[in-house]
Chains A and B, each alone.
Chain A
Amino acid sequence: MTRYLRLLRIFLVNSLQLEMEYRANFAMDALNALLAFGSGLLFLYAIFEHAESIGGWSFPQALALLGVFMILEGFIELVLYPNLNSLPEYIRKGDMDFMLLKPVSAQFLVSFRYIRLWKLPELATGVALLGYAMAALNTLTPATVALTVVLLVSAATIVYAIWCMLTTTAFWLVKVENLPELFYSIFSAGRFPVSAFPTWARFALTFIVPIAFVTTVPASAAAGRLDGAMAAGSLLVAALALLLSHGLWRLAVASYTSASS
Chain B
Amino acid sequence: MHRLRLLHRLFAVSAAETAEYRAPILVWVLTGTMPLIMMMIWMGLAKAGPMAGYEAEDFAAYFLAIFLVRQMTVCWVHEELSREIRLGEMSPRLLRPLDPYWLFAAQHLTVAAMHLVIALPVAVIGFAATGATIPLEPANSVLFVLAIAGAWTIRFNMLYGVGLLAFWTDQAAALGNLIFTLYIVLGGAVVPLDLFPASVQQALAFLPFAYLLNFPVEVLLGKLTGPAVLRGFVVQLLWILLFVGLRHLLWRNGLKRYSAVGA
Contact = CB atoms under 8 A, between A and B. Distances in A.
Given A54-B45, A196-B44, A39 B32 contact: no
Contacts of A49: 195, 197
A22 interface: yes
A35 B178 contact: yes
Given A50-B51, A181-B27, A35 B181 contact: yes
Contacts of A19: none
User: Contact residue range for chain B?
Assistant: 35 or more
Given A32-B174, A39-B181, A54-B41, A46 B195 contact: yes
A146 interface: no
A253 to B, nearest CB: 24
A104 interface: no
Interface stretch (A1-9, A153-161, A170-178): A170-178
Secondary structure class of chain B's binding surface, majority of residues? helix
A178 B182 CA distance: 24
Interface stretch (A10-18, A183-191, A229-237): A183-191
B52 A188 contact: no
A28 interface: yes
Interface string B24-40: 10011011111001001
A47 interface: yes
A51 B51 contact: yes
Contacts of A201: 40
Contacts of A36: 181
Interface residues of A, number: 37
A178 B44 contact: no
A5 B203 CA distance: 52
B23 interface: yes
A106 interface: no
Interface string A38-53: 0100110011011100
Nearest to A118: B174
A24 B45 contact: no
Contacts of B184: 39
Interface string B195-206: 111000000000
A175 B23 contact: yes
A182 B17 CA distance: 22
A197 B24 contact: no
B43 A198 contact: yes
Contacts of A177: 24
A164 B45 CA distance: 35
B171 A28 contact: yes
Contacts of A188: 34, 37
Interface string B205-231: 000000000000000000000000000
B34 A42 contact: no
Given A29-B174, A176-B24, A185 B41 contact: no
A179 interface: yes
A192 interface: yes
29 contacts: A25-B171, A28-B171, A28-B175, A32-B177, A35-B181, A36-B181, A39-B190, A42-B185, A42-B191, A50-B45, A50-B52, A51-B48, A54-B41, A55-B44, A176-B23, A176-B27, A178-B31, A179-B27, A181-B28, A181-B31, A182-B27, A185-B32, A186-B33, A188-B37, A192-B37, A196-B41, A196-B45, A197-B40, A198-B40
Given A22-B170, A46-B191, A50-B51, 16 more contacts: A24-B169, A25-B171, A32-B178, A39-B181, A39-B182, A39-B184, A46-B196, A173-B23, A176-B24, A178-B24, A178-B28, A179-B27, A188-B37, A196-B44, A196-B45, A197-B40
Interface of B: 21, 23-24, 27-28, 30-34, 37, 40-41, 43-45, 48, 51-52, 169-171, 174-175, 177-178, 181-182, 184-185, 190-191, 195-197
